[in-house]
Structure formats: structure tokens, C-alpha cells
A and B are shown apart, each in its own frame.
Chain A
């Protein structure tokens, strides 16, 4: 009797210990993933002289001085932020339109040629982007598209149509074909079926796709670095210039700019978290 109860106590302390360790591990994970971001965002709100300070007087001294300096010293940054927004929205809209239609076709029709093209799309996703910039560079010069927002919209779209189509196909696959048939019997044309039946029902897929393309288009450095110079420069490119400024880095201004670039997309991703997870599984594991 006594032995049984002592083993019960033993098991109980063991479980408590395991749970304490687990919560400790969780705390470490959170520090690792969220602390760096939090550190920078709070630093951007400190007075310019104190950005490296880690003292606890943060709330007493917090202010927007760095943001005001950013406005004064880099007035163009807000134009570049606007570029980023226009490009990200344009690329997202274009990718959604193409992926939705292509995803529908891949989901509903079958054929060797179609399978072959789907296979080719997977292959294409494996190519390193920097390799693609080489031949595109002269072509884009020739088309006089260099340093335009159009070229970035087209490039981002081209890079994400394959993933987008894949995700849309996975989501449209879940809609029963009887829906299409019922709609056709009711006299709807294909365009009407797509617009009135399939489109509203596949909104989860559309949001999932838009998370990926948005994050990429808003954050990309490589393509903007190679294909823009003055007019179409995006926010990440300008931030990279601030990092490499010859007259020394003004950390306060840099943090203000980075925070402005980071917060909108972070909020978007966190709001769309559920769809991001679903899309990632659809785009890789299920396929």
C-alpha cells in the first residue's frame, strides 16, 4: 500500500519536472524567434543616442525621434515603401488570377500534356533565381523595362505562378465536381461557374497563395537589386543602402526604416497564419 503511493508521488514529481523543462524550452524558443524582432522594434523607438541601450527606462523615453529623422534624411524612403506596396499588390493580383485559372484546369482536366507541363512547373521551381537574372538582364534592357515597377511585378509573378497553381489545384481538388455539373445544368457558362461557384469556395487557397507571393514580393532583395536603379527601387533595397552607407550607419534611422518595412507584412502573416500553414502543406508535402 505504502509502496504504491510512494511510486505515485514519484511519478507525480517526475511529471511536474518534465512540464517545467518543457515550459523552459518553450521560453527559449520564444526568445530565439521573437526577441530579435522585438529588440529592434523597441530600439527604433528609443532616443537616437540610446538605440543600443538595453535599460528598462524604455517607456519613459520612448518617442518617434528616429522616424522624424528618417523623414528628414531619407524623404525618398516613403516613395520606395510605396513602390514596394504597388509591386507587391500587383504581383499578388496577377499571380492569383493566373494561378486560379491554371489551378482549376489542372484540377478538372487530365491529359499527358497537362501532366507533363505540371511536372515541368515543379522542375522550374528548383532553379536558383540568380541564374535566371543572367539571361533576363539583356532581354529586359532590350525591352526598356529596366528600373520599372512592371518588370518586378512580372518577375515575381513568374516565380510564384508554379507554387500558386499547385496550391490552388490542391484546394480546388477538395471541391466536388458535382458543383461544376450542377452549375452547368442550371445554365451557367464556364466563366460564370468559375466566378460564382468556384471562386468564393476556394478563398482559403487564394489567401494561402497570396501570403507566399506577398511575403516574397514585399521582401525580395535580389531582383530589386539587379533590375532597379532609381525610380522603381523598393524599400528593402534602400534599407540595404542604409546599412552600407559610407558616412557610417545611423542605427536609429535604420531601425525606423526596418520597422516600417517589417510591421505591415508581419501583421499580415500573423493574421493569415492558418492559411500559411495550409498552403505550405499543400505546396510541398501533399502535392
Chain B
């Protein structure tokens, strides 16, 4: 079933990317022409640049915040279960509802956050008009929405660090910064890598947030790769170019996951054989 639904289609996309096809016409062999079209399309490069900016900002913004919150939660917290529940809440929210919530808060002239920003003399985000503000809004929203994922991974890893290590360090007179640097950080590295790799791969897929907030506009200036692909395929019915974009995205995803794939490969085939 998995092979049927996911693997065969991938091969079909590869074949499609080498042909010219649209609705109602059978595909015609086109070689690498689709790749040439896509790679010489300025909108493709806008989308690529936007994706690179948005994905990096999301992953590292989220990582920093999640690490700080995980450190906070590793210490004493009142009503821990309730607090955890509140931090996890955005995880349950649909992308669509997340967009509704953030649009509401940031609505020009009337949104509560817009008004609050104005009240303290800050300029609100002009996300509907200004492309860079639109992307900033996408980043903000995504960090908010996916923070629970990164937080949980780092938090559970933090809880897994043996307490006696800290006690021993304290007896030796290590400062709190030294304990963080020499115990917490090195023991947390594997979980950090997993969190970052997973978030890279998931953030790279970003579609709904952009589609629903800006629709890729104004003038296609805030498109990301998934939106670009969607437009090629389902608006312009150019399946060849869309498939070529798809393959480029797939390769990028695999490259981002390369470290994780390598680790899993080692653990599953090499370590298991030992």
C-alpha cells in the first residue's frame, strides 16, 4: 500500500518531469526542457529565496525559543501538567484556524495586537501590502504553531539527563553556566539535531500558511516553492514544469534529511549486524 501510494507516484513524477503535458493531452517527451524552463523562471528563484529565508528563520527562531522554554520547564514550575497543556495547545490547531487567529490579531486598524503595538508606539506589521512583512507574519505564525513539537523533543531530552551529573558538578563548584555548557549542551546534542532536521524537512513543505495569508502575492512576491508548484500544476496546468519543481523539492528534502538518514542507516544495518 505504501509502495503503491508513495513510491510509484514518485517515479511517475520523474517521468512526468521529462514530458510536456497538460489536461486532455497525452504527455510528449521533452527531455530536460522542463527543468530548463523552471530554472530560468525568475518566479522560481523568488520562491526559492523566500523558502530559504522563511525555513531558516522558522527553524532557528523556533529552536531558540523551544530551548529556552524547555530549560524553564526543567526547573520548578507551578501546576506543571496545566502549564504543559497550555504550551502544547497550538499543536492541536489547524493551519487554517492558526491563520484566522493571527489575521485577527494583526488585522490593520482593528486587530488587538495591531492596536497594542500602536499604543506602545511600535509600527504594526503591514503584512497584506508589504511582501517582507507578509513573510515575517508567515514566520511568526509558523513558529507559534510548531513550537510544541520542538519543545517536546528538547524537554523530554532534558528530563532524560541524569540528575546526579548536576549534583556532582555542583559539589565540584561548577557555576550554573559551566554546568549548562559542559553537561546540558553536549548531552542534548542528539535531540537538538533530530529536532532541527525534522523541522527543516517539515518547514520546507510550507504551503497553507502562505496560500491563505498572502496567496503568494502581491505580484507573486511572497511565493514559496510549494505554492509555486501548486500554481504550475493546478492553475497553469503545466504538469511537466510542476513535476520538475517537485523533483527539485524532493532532492532538497533528502539532502536536508541526509544526516538523519545516514544515522538511521547506520543504526539499522551496521549496528544490527554487529
Contact = CB atoms under 8 A, between A and B. Distances in A.
B104 A34 contact: no
B101 A36 contact: yes
B102 interface: yes
B243 interface: yes
B97 A273 contact: no
B49 interface: no
Contacts, number: 229
Given A123-B261, A222-B208, A269-B88, A158 B72 contact: no
A161 B7 CA distance: 14
Nearest to A122: B264
A119 B9 contact: no
B7 A221 contact: no
Given A37-B90, A155-B5, A131 B249 contact: yes
B272 A273 contact: no
Interface string B122-151: 000000000000000000000010011100
B190 interface: yes
Nearest to B208: A221
Given A135-B12, A262-B92, A236 B198 contact: no
Nearest to B85: A270
A94 to B, nearest CB: 10
B7 to A, nearest CB: 7
B249 A128 contact: yes
Interface in B197-227: 198, 201, 204-205, 207-208, 212, 226
B51 to A, nearest CB: 11
B156 A277 contact: yes
A284 B205 CA distance: 18
A113 to B, nearest CB: 12
A54 B152 CA distance: 32
B7 A124 contact: yes
A139 B9 contact: yes
Contacts of A132: 5-6, 9-10
Contact of A135 (B16, B94, B95, B198): B16
Contacts of B110: 52
Contacts of A74: none
A59 interface: no
A240 B105 CA distance: 17
A76 B107 CA distance: 27
Of the listed residues A110, A126, A161, the one surrounded by the most CB atoms of chain B closer than 10 A to its CB is A126
A20 interface: no
B87 interface: yes
Given A52-B110, A115-B272, A134-B233, A240 B96 contact: yes
Contact of A280 (B9, B90, B153, B204): B153
Nearest to A23: B78
A130 B212 contact: no
Nearest to A240: B96
B89 A39 contact: no
B100 A131 contact: no
Q: Summarize A's interface: helix, strand, loop or mixed.
A: helix
Contacts of B194: 284-285
Interface stretch (A178-186, A194-202, A253-261): A253-261
A162 B77 CA distance: 36
Nearest to A237: B96
Contacts of A124: 2, 6-7
Nearest to A271: B85
Interface string A129-141: 1111111110100
Nearest to B91: A269
Contact of B90 (A33, A244, A251, A284): A33
B239 A134 contact: yes
A1 interface: no
Interface in B1-28: 1-2, 5-10, 12-13, 16
B236 interface: no
B112 A239 contact: no
A287 interface: yes
Top 9 A-B pairs, shortest CB-CB distance: A219-B94, A135-B9, A269-B92, A131-B246, A158-B5, A135-B12, A236-B96, A221-B208, A34-B86
11 contacts: A37-B93, A40-B104, A121-B2, A131-B229, A135-B10, A135-B243, A243-B103, A258-B97, A280-B152, A285-B157, A285-B194
Given A54-B115, A134-B233, 10 more contacts: A33-B147, A37-B89, A120-B2, A131-B10, A219-B94, A261-B97, A265-B94, A266-B93, A269-B89, A285-B191
